[in-house]
């Protein structure tokens, strides 16, 4: 099983930074804060823009949120980045041996558990907003 890409945490970082510094937040500024390559930031910002979460100013640069941080959930970010493949977080190995008693039934047996786990995670992500994340950052300073 693969880990969820770091794109998710980078996107949350990006949205929080844009909320704090809306007029100064260029891809280079974000890349410096995240400590990553600006190309990675541009790709993530493109996904966030396609999802209607940010606006990016061409030329001069900079980005702004299209929604209030209290109205952007972690689930919005998760979905914007298309972290899951075909809507399913967990994938199964292809073609287990149907003659094996485990290989014959493992996907069917395990699938319901994994769907329940994904649903629980998505419900949790839907309860947390970018504003709440920013509030926690300010508390820890």
Q: What is the pLDDT of residue 25?
A: 86
Domains parsed from the chain with CATH numbers: 6-86+129-138 (1.10.10.10)
Residue with tokens 């839907």: 126
Residue with tokens 């508390």: 139
**Other C-beta atoms within 10 Å of 66: how many?**
14
Angle 103-107-113 from CA coordinates, rounded to 5°: 135
Q: What is the distance between the alpha carbons of residues 130 and 73, in angstroms, rounded to a whole number?
A: 6
SS3 call for 111: helix
Q: What is the pLDDT of residue 1?
A: 35
Q: What is the pLDDT of residue 4?
A: 65
What is the DSSP annotation of 35-102? Answer: TS-HHHHHHHHHHHHHTTSEEE-TTT--EEESS-GGG-BHHHHHHHTT-SBTTBS----S---TTSTT
Q: What is the distance between the alpha carbons of residues 130 and 138, in angstroms, rounded to a whole number?
A: 12
Of the candidates 62, 72, 56, 89, the residue with the CA atom closest to the CA atom of residue 16? 72
Q: What is the pLDDT of residue 96?
A: 86
Q: For the chain of 141 residues, list the mean pLDDT of each consecutive stretch of 10.
A: 72 94 86 93 95 87 92 96 75 85 88 91 96 79 50
Q: What is the distance between the alpha carbons of residues 123 and 117, in angstroms, rounded to a whole number?
A: 10
């Amino acid at each position: 099983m693969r880990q969820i890409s770091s794109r998710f945490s980078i996107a949350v970082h990006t949205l929080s930074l844009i909320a704090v510094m809306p007029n100064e937040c260029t891809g280079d500024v974000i890349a410096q804060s995240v400590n990553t390559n600006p190309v990675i930031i541009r790709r993530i910002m493109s996904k966030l823009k396609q999802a209607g979460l940010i606006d990016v100013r061409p030329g001069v640069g900079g980005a702004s949120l299209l929604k209030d941080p209290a109205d952007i959930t972690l689930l919005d970010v998760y979905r914007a980045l298309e972290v899951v493949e075909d809507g399913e977080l967990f994938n199964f190995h292809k073609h287990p041996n149907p003659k094996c008693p485990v290989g014959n039934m493992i996907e069917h047996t395990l699938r319901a558990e994994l769907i329940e786990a994904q649903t629980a995670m998505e419900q949790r992500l839907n309860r947390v907003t970018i504003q709440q994340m920013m509030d926690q950052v300010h508390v820890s300073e």
